[in-house]
Amino acid sequence: MPRCASEDFSGRSDRMSEGSRILADALSPEALKRAERLDELEGIFSFNRRNFLATVLADDDVETLCRLSRQGLSNNTVRALASDLVYLETWCLMSTGDALSWPAPEALLLQFVAHHRRRDGGKAKASELSMPAQVQQGMQSRGLLRGATGHSSATVRRRLTSWRSLAKARGLALGSWSSVIKDVLQSTRQASAVSEGTRAVTSDVLQKLLATCNTNLLHDIRDRALLLTAFASGGRRRAELVNLQVEDLLDGEPLDDAGDASSPQPCMIIRLKPSGANSSKQGEVRMVGYPVVALKQWLADSGIHSGSVFRRIDQWGNVDWRALTPQSVGLILKTRCRKAGVDPAKISSQSLRLGYVLEASQLGIPLSEIMHQAQLRSRPRLP
């Protein structure tokens, strides 16, 4: 007689990694209590699987699964939620050193998406994921990151959905947290549809591009300042860069470097003219550190004291009075990519903005600050 789908699912659930089997053989007193509590779900999970869940999940996690089962959820749904819960708990422990909190802070949601982004837009191997190497290796050793490839964007979205469902099942007052995860889900779905193959210019890619601007020629000085300003000021749009005027640049109070008052970092306030999605208002963003130095070097070496900041340079090295066009900014970016050995076909006008958002989210910067710096009106899209 052919096996039913639930039997197939249960069979797959029993295939634990060697590390999981070792854990199941040596339960702590606390884990043993959780395993006994999970006996309520013996019709859903096998003996070995219940022991494994008891070693990974917290007491509240176990109670949540039992409650969901009593509420009439199908066995397969409970199995899927348990699987996602194991993944989320393990990822959080590997990434932060702490157990998963409920509800999780916004920064942790963004960090989860950022860790599961693929650098090539969807066809990367696990070594090319943005997940830190030690986290990636830990997940692989536990059989949670299978083989040499990461999970698809659909799987990442499913785990985010499970995250929200499990928080709701705990009876938490989700408030704004629920809307945040809805926006993250929507943004990942949109990004996978519109950004297929697009590569974000994250800090590692940016360093490669900057390495091609290592001379004292005006072209290199300008392009270095252009790339750093575009990235460090929040992933500026091309139109914002070409419309930038010297009069829009204001010196800010120097900031201490990691609390060291002896080495303050230069600070600059940039006033942005209305453009693109922000066509109805003018905003201000802050830029700190070496990007400020690079921008001031370009202004000093080019002799620009007023008017357009980023200008054309003719074949003889003379700085034109005319500003760059948005199209020329795109060409500069692709030219630097070719010189750096980065595939220019995977770099678009959104690459710098996407790279900034991803880097900021990985650093744990609050979503509200990321949105302000990038001048975003809606939640950022994270593939």
Domain boundaries, the chain: 5-194, 203-374
pLDDT at 210: 95
pLDDT of 282 over the 70 cut: no
Instruction: Give the chain's end-to-end CA distance (angstroms, integer).
Output: 43
CATH number of 203-374: 1.10.443.10
Query: In the structure encoding, which two tokens stand for residue 295, read together?
Result: 């921008």
Percentage of the chain exceeding pLDDT 90: 25
pLDDT of 280 over the 50 cut: no
Residue spans of beta strands (DSSP E) within the chain: 249-257, 260-272, 283-288, 311-313, 319-323
The residue ranking higher by pLDDT, 231 or 282, is: 231
pTM, two decimals, is 0.54
Nearest residue to 240 via CA among 318, 352, 368: 352
pLDDT of 312 over the 90 cut: yes
The residue ranking higher by pLDDT, 281 or 300, is: 300
The whole-number average pLDDT for the span 295-323 is 93
The whole-number average pLDDT for the span 52-76 is 89
Residue spans of beta strands (DSSP E) within 173-294: 249-257, 260-272, 283-288
pLDDT of 253 over the 90 cut: no
3-state secondary structure (DSSP) of residue 235: coil
pLDDT at 348: 78
Q: How far apart are CA 203 and CA 208, in angstroms?
A: 9
286 backbone dihedrals φ, ψ, rounded to 5°: -115, 145
Q: Are 338 and 243 in contact (CB under 8 A)?
A: no
pLDDT at 151: 66
Give DSSP secondary structure letters for 307-351: SBSSEEE-TTSPEEEEEPPHHHHHHHHHHHHHHHT--GGG--TTH
pLDDT of 111 over the 70 cut: yes
Mean pLDDT of the chain: 78
pLDDT of 165 over the 60 cut: yes
pLDDT band at residue 255, thresholds of 50, 70 and 90? confident
The residue ranking higher by pLDDT, 378 or 345, is: 345
Q: How far apart are CA 82 and CA 76, in angstroms?
A: 10
The residue ranking higher by pLDDT, 174 or 2, is: 174
pLDDT of 382 over the 70 cut: no
pLDDT of 95 over the 80 cut: yes
The whole-number average pLDDT for the span 105-109 is 78
170 backbone dihedrals φ, ψ, rounded to 5°: -80, -5
pLDDT of 154 over the 70 cut: yes
| Stretch among 45-59, 124-138, 347-361 having the lowest mean pLDDT | 124-138
* Strand-strand pairing, 249-257 and 260-272: antiparallel
pLDDT tens-digit map of 174-189: 655 556 666 665 555 5
pLDDT at 9: 35
pLDDT of 244 over the 80 cut: yes
pLDDT tens-digit map of 6-37: 433 334 344 444 344 444 456 788 888 888 89
3-state secondary structure (DSSP) of residue 275: strand
